[in-house]
Amino acid sequence: MFRTNIARSAALVTLLAFLAGQGASASASNTSGCHVVQHYYFAKAGMEDEVLATRIRGNEVRAALGLATSRLLVIKSSFSGHPADGPLKPGNASYLMSETVFANQEDVAKADEMLVASEDYLAVRTKMAALIDHFELAVRRLVGNGCPTD
């Protein structure tokens, strides 16, 4: 069963890397410049601390592989609506967002290849899958000057 979960995780990582590349290659100018990869984790009820601990472990694996680690942001509050409609209502944002900055699309692809090859990282992804109800991924290109890839 563990191997099956690793295989599923590997397939998910490969799909996400492909989709990230597709989004980034929509125009030639999108492949260069600073890319920000954001992962949104919607924790199952009562699993918030474990989701955060698992994502911290993912950062440890990334660091051991020589990859950039992600900035982790835990939800404090969330609101949704349009100001013209009156007061905002409670939103449905993810519990945890991780954000990793890359100098270009090629660095995103290289990191994805290294992660797919890591059994430790695939184990983190398999564990995370059991802790969340929903997952979203966004790849953005930073507009403006500078690329904070420290």
Backbone angle region of 144, left / alpha / beta, with phi > 0 → left and psi within -120 to 50 → alpha: left
In Å, what is the CA distance from 124 to each residue of 2, 31, 105, 127, 137?
12, 28, 24, 5, 17
Q: What is the pTM of this model?
A: 0.75
Report the pLDDT value the prediction gives residue 25, as an integer from 0 to 100: 38
User: Considering the domain boundaries, does residue 149 fall inside one?
Assistant: no
User: Considering the domain boundaries, does residue 150 fall inside one?
Assistant: no
Give the range of the structural domain holding residue 87, as residue numbers without chain letter.
2-141
User: Considering the domain boundaries, does residue 148 fall inside one?
Assistant: no
User: Considering the domain boundaries, does residue 147 fall inside one?
Assistant: no
Report the pLDDT value the prediction gives residue 10, as an integer from 0 to 100: 44
Report the pLDDT value the prediction gives residue 63, as an integer from 0 to 100: 97
Measured distance CA(26)–CA(58) in Å, rounded? 29
Report the pLDDT value the prediction gives residue 68, as an integer from 0 to 100: 93
User: Considering the domain boundaries, does residue 146 fall inside one?
Assistant: no
Written as tens digits, the pLDDT of the chain (150 aa) is 444 444 444 444 444 444 444 443 333 344 568 999 999 999 999 999 999 999 999 999 999 999 999 999 999 888 888 888 888 887 888 899 999 999 999 999 999 999 999 999 999 999 999 999 999 999 998 887 778 765
Rg of the chain, C-alpha, whole Å: 16
Report the pLDDT value the prediction gives residue 2, as an integer from 0 to 100: 45
Q: Are 41 and 132 contacting, i.e. CB atoms less than 8 angstroms apart?
A: yes
User: Considering the domain boundaries, does residue 80 fall inside one?
Assistant: yes
What is the sign of the dihedral through the CA atoms of 42, 142, 76 and 125? Answer: positive
In Å, what is the CA distance from 79 to each residue of 59, 75, 76, 89, 111?
29, 11, 11, 5, 33
Report the pLDDT value the prediction gives residue 31, as an integer from 0 to 100: 57
- Output phi, psi for 81, to 5 deg: 135, -170
Q: What CATH number is attached to the domain comprising 16? A: 3.30.70.100
- Output phi, psi for 100, to 5 deg: -125, 135
Report the pLDDT value the prediction gives residue 107, as an integer from 0 to 100: 93
Question: Which of 97, 83, 88, 79 has its CA nearest to residue 42?
Answer: 97
- Output phi, psi for 117, to 5 deg: -80, -5
Give the chain's domain count. 1
User: Considering the domain boundaries, does residue 130 fall inside one?
Assistant: yes
